[in-house]
Each structure stands twice: as structure tokens, then as C-alpha cells.
Amino acid sequence: MMRFPRTGCWYRFTPSDWEFIGRCLALTEGSRNSLASLADDPDAVRFVVDQPRLFEALLMGRQAAMVSPELFFLVTVRHTLKRIGVDDIEVADYMAVVCSDFGLSGSRGCAEKAEAEGLYSIDYVQALENARSREKFFIHIQCANQFLVLTCLFPSFLHRRAERRGAPDVNYYEQVVVSHLDAAGRHVLSQEFALHDVLLRLAGNFPPVRRAMNYTLSEYLNLGN
């Protein structure tokens, strides 16, 4: 359902993203021109995306359509997670990469595609039973990421589905995310992909993270729920 997450989403900010950042944050033309050079410095990027003016412009100012999904989700997730005390930029980056794989313009299609294909975590359980050790890591990642996006961005879709069909609701899929993140984080390949700490920290904090994301997006943005 999605590509394997490539962390460091600030490396994929577009020239238009940096122009937008410059308009929001820079006071002079010279400082605007120098902002894009910060892309290779994660600490500098952290300082940029932490600025309240950027969050206000994107969500409160309703300017999300002007930037890439990577910039939108990194700012949105970062500010949301900081509000609940999850201060790891690596966790925010991972979530932003996973969410941006769907893109804002195709957000409604994500839920419709899931509806058409069915939402059965048992399919992943069956796949795991027949998988080799290396394959299990990628199955855990794919399952966790699919339901991370649906629970964080499309809770209303899951609520309606539960009401119509008696299907599991958001809380069930929240636990699916936690269990698969935890399993992926404990797999030997998580070290190889430098995801061990990120996956386990996200698993340990996911229930409040999910609720905080639901609140942020319901307050500031309609993703086609």
C-alpha cells in the first residue's frame, strides 16, 4: 500500500517549499535566499519547522495546498507531537514520511482504496505465518504504516465503517499499529535501517500520538473524512 519509508523528508522539500518558508520566517531577501541552504543540517531544519509562524501559516492560515506533503506533514506532526511531550524529531520525521506517501491531493482516494480492498489485519497475520524472517520485518512495517495513516488521518472513515458494518473501530486498529511497530522495532533489520529506536518510541507513544493527530486535523483541516 505504500513504499518503504525513506526518512529525512526535509531532503525532499521543493524550491517552492523553501520559498514559502522564506515568506513566513525571513525578514530580508538575503535571509530568504540562505534558508534553503539549511536542508543539509537536521538541527537547522528542526529549528525551522519548530517555528509557530510556519504552523500557523499552514494550518490556521489554510495554506497547506501551497506546499509539498513532506513539508506539510513534518510541520503538522512535529507541532502536534511536541504538544503532548513527544520531542523526538526522528519520530515526527518517520510519521511525516509515512503520511506524505499518500499526499494531500489523494487523501480521499486512500480511504476509498482501503474500503474497496478491505481492512483485514488478519491478512497480515497469515502473511507473517508464511514469511521468512527478513520478509516479516517488511510485513510488520507495511501493516503498521497502513493503519497508522488510517487511524491518524481518517478516523471518521473508520468510525463510519464500524457503525455500518460492525467492523472494528479506531481503538482496535490503534493496537494493531502498536503491535506491528513494536515487532518491527525488535526485528534485527530495524538496526540495519536505523529505525530501531524510532519504531519502539513511536509504538510506546502511539495511542496519545494518534489522538493528538486526530484533534489537530479535525480542528484545522478536512482530509476528506
Residue with cell 526535509: 10
C-alpha angle 147/150/153, rounded to 5°? 140
Residue 4's pLDDT is 82
CB atoms within 10 A of CB 173: 22
Q: Which amino acid is at 208?
A: P
Cβ neighbours of 121 (radius 10 Å): 17
Q: What is the pLDDT at residue 199?
A: 98
pLDDT along the chain (225 residues), means of 10: 78 89 74 66 84 89 84 95 95 95 54 49 76 91 91 90 84 94 97 96 98 91 58
Asked if 91 contacts 115 with a C-beta cutoff of 8 angstroms, the reply is no
Of the candidates 57, 55, 77, the one whose C-alpha atom is nearest the C-alpha of residue 209 is: 77
